[in-house]
Amino acid sequence: MLELFIYMQKTVDTDIKSLIIITTLIFLIAPAFILLYVLVYNQRKKKHIEEKQRLKSEFQQELLKTQIEVQEQTLTNISREIHDNITQVLSFVKLNLAMIDPDDEHCKSKINESRELVAQTINDLRNLSKSLSFEHIVRLGLVKTLEIEAERINSSGLINTQLTVEGEIYSLGEQRELVLFRIFQEALNNTLKHSGAKHLKINLQYSKLILNLTLEDDGVGFSPGLIDDNLGSGLRNMQSRAALIGAVATIDSLPDKGCCIKVTLNPFEQLYDNGTPTNSFG
């Protein structure tokens, strides 16, 4: 019995020593694991903050670039409108006034006609100023701005434009709407310069889960493998701008089949503004 007792006592002592050793190791290793976890967490957090700042910086740079390009496009449009429309009207007014003879019975009618032409010119200038102003885009929103642009394009006679809007309209935030408008301008520019299209369909489809902006023309189209540098650059610009606001731009075209550009956007995707996440309705 004594030997059994001694054996059991030794076993208990051994178990106690093992427990003490294990407990000591746990207390020594646990802080090391905690310290390692904190270090890894801080590194990931730092990397996330740096990535967020990088994306924010890229977004601000691209937004500034977009604003500059919109202004450049605006100046181009103003120059074209003044040359093709307003200059001709004013020249006709000048010609009418030069032909006026105070003794002519038709003098009064010529003066009245000139007054009407001058009033028309002033109205054209006013409409042109409003439709191409950057502040005008921000104030009116995407849909109204596209409506004005469609009316202006139709009035120019360059191409027949049809705009349709589906669903309940909501704001995407001025940053997103500015980029979408720039994509529209890029697509319109390509259509007018390269496609030879007679008709352009613009469709805005609003839903709670997704927004689609589709531009479809009936022009000559192109083969994806035969895009020249200028056209290809414009198409890539549209895709990169779409990606910048969390959207996807797909371009579908074949020779003699026209071109269809579709921009798909999740309206609930968040953008970062001054380092703080904001939703797309801001």
Q: Which of 88, 117, 132 is a domain's end point?
A: 132
Q: What is the pLDDT of residue 29?
A: 78
What is the per-residue pLDDT across 122-161, written as a single tens digit (0 to 9) for each?
A: 776 666 665 555 666 777 889 998 998 898 888 878 899 9
Please tell me whether residues 113 and 211 are part of one structural domain. Answer: no
CATH at residue 279: 3.30.565.10
What is the per-residue pLDDT across 51-77, written as a single tens digit (0 to 9) for each?
A: 888 887 777 667 666 665 666 666 666
Given pLDDT bands bounded at 50, 70 and 90, which one contains residue 280? very low
- Nearest CA to 183 out of 143, 145, 213 is that of 213
Q: What is the pLDDT of residue 278?
A: 41
Please tell me whether residues 102 and 221 are part of one structural domain. Answer: no
The highest-confidence range among 92-96, 168-172, 198-202, by mean pLDDT, is 198-202
Q: What is the pLDDT of residue 274?
A: 37
Range of the domain at 125: 64-132
d(CA 282, CA 280): 5
Residue 6 lies inside a defined structural domain of this protein: no
Contacts of 203 by beta carbon, 8 Å cutoff, 6+ apart:
163, 164, 165, 166, 212, 213, 214, 215, 216
Decide if pLDDT at 276 tops 50: no
Question: Residue written as tokens 């000591």?
Answer: 24
Please tell me whether residues 70 and 128 are part of one structural domain. Answer: yes
